[in-house]
C-alpha cells in the first residue's frame, strides 16, 4: 500500500503566489464555490455513522456576522455521544494498533494529496469561517499538507529498528507502541493545520481518537472528516463531535481516555491538565497531556539593528491574522536610543495596512474571531491607556457588520503593565523601552510564557547572547517571530506556553507512543 511519496525526502508545500493571475482566478473561483455552499448542515460522525441532533448551533463569518457558514449539531445536548465515540474508538483501536506502519502512513499521504488538490477550496472555507486573508489561509492549508507528509515519513522512521546496545546471549529489541484512545481538542485559529496535525499524528502512531473542534471553526473540521471518509480511513479511527465546553470536559474526564492533545488558552490548558491528573473509577493509566497554551511573545530590537528589517518583521508578526496567533508579536522591546525612530517606521507601515473583508485579495487585516474577542480587545486597549500607555495607531473597532479591530500600537508601556503581561490575542502591540540589550532580554523573559521571540541586532555577540538567554521554545534572530515551518522549526514553548511538544519536529510522534523493550534469552 506504500507509495513513492514515502520514499521521497520531505519538502514543505510551497505557498501560492497570488500575484500570478491564474492563481488569483483560481482562488476567486474557490471563494464563489464555497459561497454557494454556505449554510449547509454538517453531522457528527461516530464509527462512520452520521448523526444529526435536534439542538444545533451556527458557525458564522466573523467579517460578516449575519452570514451563516454552516450548521452543526450541539453535542452537549446528548450526553451519551462522548461515551459512544470513545467506545467506538476503543473498539477500533483493537485492530488499528496492529495495522502496519506503512499502511497507516499511506492514509496520511492520501489525505495530503486530496488537500493539495483542493488547496484553494479549503483555504476559501477558512476565509469565510475564521476571517483569514488569502495568504494566511493558504499558509494554513500548506501547513496541514506538511503535517500529513511529515508525520507519515516520521512514523516510518520510528516504526523501524531502534538502536540498542548488544548483549551476549540475548535477543534484545526495542520499539514503540501506541497509547490508546485520545481526545483531540484543537483551536480555531489554525482550524485546518493544527487540527489535522494533532489528529493525524495520533492516528499514524496507531491510536484512535475523538476529535472536537472549536465551536468557532467546526465546518473546516467537518470538511477534513469528509476527506478522511473519502480516502477510506477505517470507521472508528477518527470520531467527530461538534459542541462546546461540556463535550470537551466529558472527553477529558472519561476513564477510557488515554491521552489529551490540546491547543488553546492557558486557562483551559491548565484545567485540562488538572482534570487529567485525577484518576477516575475504571481508569488504569496515568493520562498523558500534550498541550500548547499560547504566549506573550516579544521582539527585541538592539540599537545597532537594521531598523527597516525590524519594522517590517514586527508589523508582519504583530498584525498577521489580526494578531490571533500564539506566536504573534504582542510586545516590542526596543533600545531607548532607537526607540523613536523605530516607532515612527512601524507606525508608518501599520498605516499602510488595508483593513477589510478577507474575501478581497488586497486585504491585510480582517476581523477578529467573535464578539467576545472584539469586546475583550477594546477593554485591553482601554486598560493599556489607563495604565499610562499612549495610542499611536488604531485604538478602535467597528462591529456593525463584522468584528474589526484597527491594528493598534500602544507606546510608553512599562514592564509589568497588564497589556505587557497578559495574552490579548488580537492586533494590539505594546511598545516598551529598554536601557540596553541586557535590559531588553530581561524584560522579554519577565513573563509566565515562553513560546516565541525574536531579536534584531547587527552584532553576532548579541545574537549569541539572545540564543543563550532568551527563554523561549522558538527563537528567531534577525527575522519575525511567526511563520514556523513543519520540519524546519519544531514548534512548542516553555513555562505556561505548554508542554513543549514540538509540533512538526522529529520527536513529536513520541508524545503519542510508549516504548516497549523485549528481551529473549538465546543459545
Residues 354 and 382 occupy one common structural domain:
yes
Q: Which residues pair with 476 in a beta bridge?
A: 454
The pLDDT of residue 17: 98
Residues 285 and 366 occupy one common structural domain:
no
Task: List Cβ neighbours of 105 (8 Å cut-off, separation of 6 or more).
Answer: 2, 6, 152, 153, 155, 156, 204
Residue 286 inside a domain? The answer is yes
Considering the entire predicted model, what is its pTM?
A: 0.97
Sign of the alpha-carbon dihedral angle for 335, 407, 452, 265:
positive
Residue 104 inside a domain? The answer is yes
Residue 390 inside a domain? The answer is yes
Per-residue pLDDT of the chain (523 residues; tens, 9 = 90+): 344 454 589 999 999 999 999 999 999 999 999 999 999 999 999 999 999 999 999 999 999 999 999 999 999 999 899 999 999 999 999 999 999 999 999 999 999 999 999 999 999 999 999 999 999 999 999 999 999 999 999 999 999 999 999 999 999 999 999 999 999 999 999 999 999 999 999 999 999 999 999 999 999 999 999 999 999 999 999 999 999 999 999 999 999 999 999 999 999 999 999 999 999 999 999 999 999 999 999 999 999 999 999 999 999 999 999 999 999 999 999 999 999 999 999 999 999 999 999 999 999 999 999 999 999 999 999 999 999 999 999 999 999 999 999 999 999 999 999 999 999 999 999 999 999 999 999 999 999 999 999 999 999 999 999 999 999 999 999 999 999 999 999 999 999 999 999 999 999 999 999 999 999 999 8
- How many structural domains comprise the chain? 2
- H/E stretch holding 314 reads helix 307-319
Residue 33 inside a domain? The answer is no
Residues 354 and 375 occupy one common structural domain:
yes
Residue 22 inside a domain? The answer is no
Residues 272 and 320 occupy one common structural domain:
no
Residues 184 and 283 occupy one common structural domain:
yes
The set of catalytic residues is: 292, 326
Residue 492 inside a domain? The answer is no
The pLDDT of residue 487: 98
Residues 514 and 478 occupy one common structural domain:
no
Residues 281 and 426 occupy one common structural domain:
no
Residues 272 and 316 occupy one common structural domain:
no
Residue 32 inside a domain? The answer is no
User: Residue 186: which CATH number?
Assistant: 3.40.605.10
Q: Find where cell 470507521 sits.
A: 235
Cell numbers linked to 37: 455552499
Please give the residue range of the domain that contains residue 429.
Answer: 297-484
- H/E stretch holding 68 reads strand 64-73
Residues 263 and 322 occupy one common structural domain:
no
Q: Find where cell 476581523 sits.
A: 367
| Alpha carbons 321 and 459: distance in angstroms, whole number | 31
User: Residue 350: which CATH number?
Assistant: 3.40.309.10
Residues 325 and 439 occupy one common structural domain:
yes
* Dihedral in degrees, nearest 10, Cα atoms 5, 122, 316, 270: -90
Residue 20 inside a domain? The answer is no
Residues 177 and 198 occupy one common structural domain:
yes
Residues 266 and 127 occupy one common structural domain:
yes
Amino acid at each position: 500500500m506504500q507509495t513513492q511519496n514515502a520514499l521521497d525526502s520531505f519538502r514543505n508545500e510551497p505557498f501560492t503566489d497570488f500575484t500570478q493571475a491564474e492563481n488569483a482566478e483560481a482562488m476567486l473561483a474557490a471563494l464563489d464555490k464555497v459561497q454557494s455552499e454556505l449554510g449547509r448542515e454538517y453531522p457528527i460522525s461516530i464509527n462512520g455513522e452520521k448523526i444529526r441532533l435536534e439542538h444545533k448551533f451556527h458557525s458564522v463569518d466573523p467579517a460578516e456576522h449575519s452570514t451563516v457558514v454552516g450548521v452543526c449539531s450541539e453535542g452537549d445536548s446528548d450526553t451519551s455521544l462522548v461515551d459512544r465515540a470513545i467506545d467506538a474508538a476503543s473498539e477500533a483501536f483493537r485492530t488499528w494498533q496492529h495495522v502496519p506502519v506503512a499502511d497507516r502512513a499511506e492514509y496520511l499521504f492520501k489525505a495530503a494529496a486530496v488537500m493539495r488538490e483542493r488547496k484553494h477550496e479549503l483555504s476559501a472555507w477558512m476565509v469565510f469561517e475564521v476571517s483569514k486573508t488569502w495568504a494566511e489561509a493558504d499558509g494554513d492549508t500548506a501547513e496541514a499538507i506538511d503535517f500529513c507528509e511529515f508525520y507519515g515519513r516520521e512514523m516510518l522512521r520510528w516504526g523501524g529498528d531502534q538502536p540498542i546496545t548488544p548483549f551476549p546471549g540475548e535477543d534484545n529489541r526495542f520499539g514503540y507502541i501506541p497509547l490508546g484512545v485520545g481526545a483531540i481538542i484543537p483551536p480555531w485559529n489554525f482550524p485546518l493545520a493544527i487540527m489535522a496535525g494533532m489528529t493525524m499524528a495520533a492516528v499514524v502512531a496507531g491510536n484512535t481518537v475523538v476529535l472536537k473542534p472549536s465551536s468557532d471553526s467546526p465546518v473546516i473540521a467537518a470538511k477534513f472528516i469528509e476527506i478522511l471518509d473519502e480516502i477510506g480511513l477505517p470507521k472508528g479511527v477518527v470520531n467527530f463531535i461538534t459542541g462546546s465546553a461540556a463535550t470537551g470536559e466529558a472527553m477529558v474526564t472519561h476513564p477510557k481516555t488515554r491521552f489529551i492533545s490540546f491547543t488553546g488558552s492557558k486557562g483551559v490548558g491548565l484545567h485540562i491538565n488538572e482534570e487529567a491528573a485525577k484518576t477516575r473509577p475504571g481508569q488504569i493509566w496515568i493520562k498523558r497531556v500534550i498541550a500548547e497554551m499560547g504566549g506573550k511573545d516579544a521582539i527585541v530590537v538592539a540599537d545597532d539593528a537594521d531598523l527597516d528589517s525590524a519594522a517590517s518583521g514586527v508589523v508582519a508578526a504583530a498584525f498577521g491574522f489580526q494578531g490571533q496567533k500564539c506566536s504573534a508579536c504582542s510586545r516590542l522591546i526596543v533600545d531607548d536610543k532607537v526607540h523613536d525612530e523605530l516607532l515612527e517606521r512601524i507606525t508608518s507601515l501599520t498605516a499602510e495596512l488595508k483593513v477589510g473583508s478577507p474575501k478581497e485579495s488586497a486585504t491585510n487585516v480582517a476581523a477578529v474571531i467573535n464578539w467576545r474577542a472584539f469586546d475583550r480587545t477594546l477593554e485591553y486597549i482601554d486598560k493599556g491607556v489607563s495604565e499610562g500607555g499612549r495610542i499611536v495607531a488604531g485604538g478602535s473597532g467597528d462591529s456593525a457588520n463584522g468584528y474589526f479591530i484597527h491594528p493598534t500600537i500602544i507606546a510608553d508601556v512599562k514592564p509589568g503593565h497588564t497589556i505587557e503581561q497578559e495574552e490579548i490575542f488580537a492586533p494590539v502591540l505594546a511598545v516598551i523601552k529598554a536601557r540596553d540589550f541586557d535590559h531588553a532580554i530581561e524584560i522579554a523573559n519577565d513573563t509566565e510564557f515562553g513560546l516565541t521571540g525574536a531579536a534584531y541586532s547587527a552584532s553576532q555577540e548579541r545574537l549569541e547572547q539572545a540564543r543563550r538567554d532568551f527563554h523561549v521554545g522558538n527563537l528567531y534572530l534577525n527575522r519575525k517571530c511567526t511563520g514556523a515551518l513543519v520540519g524546519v522549526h519544531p514548534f512548542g514553548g516553555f513555562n505556561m506556553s505548554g508542554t513543549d511538544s514540538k509540533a512538526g519536529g522529529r520527536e513529536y510522534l513520541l508524545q503519542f507512543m510508549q516504548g516497549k523493550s523485549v528481551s529473549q534469552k538465546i543459545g
